[in-house]
């Protein structure tokens, strides 16, 4: 190649490069918008990213806001909501007047609010509460009337211990909508969580009544929402059998909560034969689920608050709070029969009310549904779990499962009727304390979604309830029946001590159980263990 030819090519290359570097900002933005409007979101994003790379340090705040806005819209269209939220927040930070332009465009409003809320929720779950508030505050500028945004802000303030800010946010919600159940619920949570030291003396005295009042207001509104959705379901199904409609409503809510969208669709189309009304029934199902879920959560929270109130008060006041708590946990279970935390709390309320038989039933049901013998699983999965029990973990008596295996276990157990998920604790109490591992088998091993402290408490309370029933039967002359209960109690209490050998309450109850069932040597050994622990 001649020197002249090389020189010409070099000049052309330099000219081309200079041209590429100097594409005007307006041209980049215009080209990006053309690609965006044509649905070519990747190509559009490339143009806007070039604009940011080339002009990010020199453009004025209004131009920079436009670049970030369009980058956010492209990311949102590509289902990258968290990066999109960062761009929307940057756009608003650079030019607050851009909010008015966003609100004039329905699509921009939808995507910016959706992304900002997703980022707020993501940060809230990650414990990044200040960031969660920043994203939610930006979303509030876009859609100032949506209660979900206020809820995120208030929950973040609650987690930060900024209770006055939390209360202020909840009251802002009420000023926008006096029928906001979410606002009433948040004010109830405020009275539940705020330390006594931050309350005036008079308010401190009435905190439990205030907590109850606001939560009850929320419950009334959630119930009205459920009733409205239920009435619409009746009109759609045109069935006169009330019991049948109630069963269908429960099935719809359960499938929305625990099954995938395909299973819900199949149920509506095949079992209900309502394919022509699929969309309408699916919409009603969402309303039923949202209301039922909030009835469950709010009832549980208020029930827990009133159990605490019962513990902090005396006499009739204490008894009244406990009775209300018991009713609330029953209401929570009516809206989610698989809420075993509510069932456990119901058992506590019953136990404190000296309803040992009812408490025993509640605690037994918790165990039945949160403890699964490994032998119930398919053979290959059993062996996979057995292989996890190594010398490093055997002395601990349990291990926590993570990753794909945890998801596989939950999926398998759901097909066996164990809903709720979270069965990540593998227990092998029969091996606890061993120095090595040899010939481990799945017998005696079990999975649970309760951690060791929680599981210890459940087994203890079940054992103590059965001990009380057994001793009462023996005192009334029904010795054989009483001893049967005590034998069951022994199983529960020994499981308690296998999880935590230092549980003094379990050893004390074992003393009574062994003594009354004729195992005097075991009773004496249990008593010695109890005395040692109490020293």
Q: What is the pLDDT of residue 436?
A: 67
Q: What is the pLDDT of residue 364?
A: 97
pLDDT digits (tens, 9 = 90+) for 92-111: 999 999 999 999 999 999 99
- Cβ atoms < 10 Å from Cβ of 114: 18
Q: What is the pLDDT of residue 430?
A: 85
Assigned token pair, 376: 């119930």
Q: Any idea what the CATH number is for the domain that residue 512 is in?
A: 1.25.40.10
- 279 found inside a domain: yes
* Domain tally, the chain: 4
519: DSSP letter: -
Q: Give the span between the Cα atoms of 206 and 270, in whole angstroms.
A: 53
- 159 found inside a domain: no
- 307 found inside a domain: yes
Q: Cα angle at 363 between 361 and 369, to 5 degrees?
A: 100
- 301 found inside a domain: yes
- Same domain for 218 and 324: yes
The residue out of 450, 483, 517 marking a domain boundary is 450
Q: Cα angle at 238 between 232 and 243, to 5 degrees?
A: 85
pLDDT digits (tens, 9 = 90+) for 353-403: 999 999 999 999 999 999 999 999 999 999 999 999 988 888 888 999 999
- Same domain for 283 and 218: yes
- 3 found inside a domain: no
What is the pTM for the complete model shown?
A: 0.83
- Same domain for 347 and 283: yes
- 476 found inside a domain: yes
429: DSSP letter: G
- Same domain for 314 and 249: yes
- 220 found inside a domain: yes
Q: What is the pLDDT of residue 19?
A: 44
- Same domain for 502 and 399: no
- Same domain for 525 and 498: yes
The residue out of 353, 379, 406 marking a domain boundary is 353
Assigned token pair, 316: 């009739």
- Same domain for 381 and 321: no
Assigned token pair, 171: 């009251």
- Same domain for 498 and 527: yes
- Same domain for 326 and 379: no
User: What are the helix and strand counts (H, E) for the chain?
Assistant: 25, 4
Query: Are 412 and 377 within 8 A, CB to CB?
Result: yes
H or E element at residue 425 = strand 425-427
Q: Give the span between the Cα atoms of 529 and 534, in whole angstroms.
A: 9
- Same domain for 301 and 268: yes
427: DSSP letter: E
- Same domain for 304 and 235: yes
Q: Where would I find the H helices in 353-423?
A: 356-370, 379-386, 403-415
- 150 found inside a domain: no
Low-confidence ranges of the chain (pLDDT < 50): 1, 3-5, 7-20
Domain that holds residue 229: 206-353
Q: What is the pLDDT of residue 484?
A: 97
Distance, CA of 527 to chain centre: 42
Nearest alpha carbon to residue 452 among 482, 432, 481? 432
What separation in angstroms does the CA of 50 have from each of 223, 400, 477? Answer: 52, 47, 88
- Same domain for 390 and 310: no
The residue out of 120, 144, 168 marking a domain boundary is 144
Q: What is the pLDDT of residue 435?
A: 67
Distance, CA of 4 to chain centre: 73
């Amino acid at each position: 190649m001649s020197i002249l030819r090389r020189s010409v090519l070099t000049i052309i290359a330099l000219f081309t490069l200079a041209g590429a570097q100097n594409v005007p900002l307006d041209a980049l933005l215009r080209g990006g918008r053309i690609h965006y409007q044509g649905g070519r979101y990747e190509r559009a994003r490339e143009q806007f990213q070039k604009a940011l790379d080339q002009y990010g340090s020199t453009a004025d705040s209004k131009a920079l806001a436009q670049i970030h806005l369009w980058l956010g819209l492209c990311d949102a269209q590509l289902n990258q909501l968290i990066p999109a939220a960062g761009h929307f927040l940057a756009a608003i930070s650079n030019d607050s007047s851009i909010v008015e332009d966003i609100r004039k465009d329905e699509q921009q409003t939808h995507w910016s609010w959706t992304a900002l809320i997703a980022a707020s929720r993501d940060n809230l779950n990650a414990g990044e509460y200040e960031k969660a508030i920043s994203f939610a505050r930006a979303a509030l500028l876009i859609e100032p009337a949506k209660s979900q945004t206020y809820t995120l802000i208030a929950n973040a303030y609650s987690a930060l211990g900024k209770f006055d800010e939390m209360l202020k946010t909840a009251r802002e919600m009420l000023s926008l909508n006096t029928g906001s159940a979410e606002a009433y619920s948040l004010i109830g949570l405020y009275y539940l969580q705020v330390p006594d030291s931050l309350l005036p003396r008079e308010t401190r005295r009435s905190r439990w009544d205030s907590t109850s009042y606001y939560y009850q207001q929320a419950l009334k509104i959630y119930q009205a929402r459920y009733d409205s959705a239920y009435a619409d379901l009746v009109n759609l199904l045109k069935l006169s059998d009330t019991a049948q409609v109630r069963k269908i409503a429960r099935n719809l809510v359960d499938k929305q909560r625990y099954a995938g969208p395909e299973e819900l669709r199949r149920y509506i189309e095949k079992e209900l034969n309502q394919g022509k009304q699929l969309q309408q029934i699916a919409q009603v199902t969402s309303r039923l689920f949202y209301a039922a879920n909030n009835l469950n959560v709010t009832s549980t929270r208020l029930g827990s608050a009133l159990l605490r109130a019962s513990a902090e008060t005396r006499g009739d006041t204490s008894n009244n709070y406990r009775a209300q708590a018991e009713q609330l946990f029953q209401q929570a279970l009516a809206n989610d029969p698989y809420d075993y935390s509510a069932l456990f709390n119901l058992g506590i309320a019953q136990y404190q009310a000296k309803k040992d038989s009812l408490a025993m039933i509640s605690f037994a049901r918790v165990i039945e549904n949160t403890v699964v013998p490994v032998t119930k699983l398919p053979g290959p999965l059993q062996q996979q779990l057995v292989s996890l029990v190594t010398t490093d973990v055997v002395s601990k008596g349990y291990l926590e499962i993570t990753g794909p295996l945890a998801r596989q276990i939950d999926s398998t157990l759901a097909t066996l009727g164990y809903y709720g998920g979270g069965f990540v604790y593998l227990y092998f109490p029969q091996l606890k304390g061993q120095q090595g591992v040899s010939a481990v088998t799945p017998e005696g091993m079990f999975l649970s979604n309760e951690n060791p402290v929680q599981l210890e408490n459940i087994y203890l309370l079940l054992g103590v309830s059965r001990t009380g029933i057994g001793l009462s039967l023996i005192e009334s002359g029904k010795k054989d029946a009483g001893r049967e209960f005590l034998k069951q109690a022994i199983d529960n209490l020994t499981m308690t001590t296998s999880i935590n050998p230092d549980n003094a309450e379990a050893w004390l109850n074992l003393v009574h159980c062994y003594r009354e069932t004729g195992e005097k040597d075991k009773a004496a050994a249990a008593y010695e263990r109890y005395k040692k622990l109490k020293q």
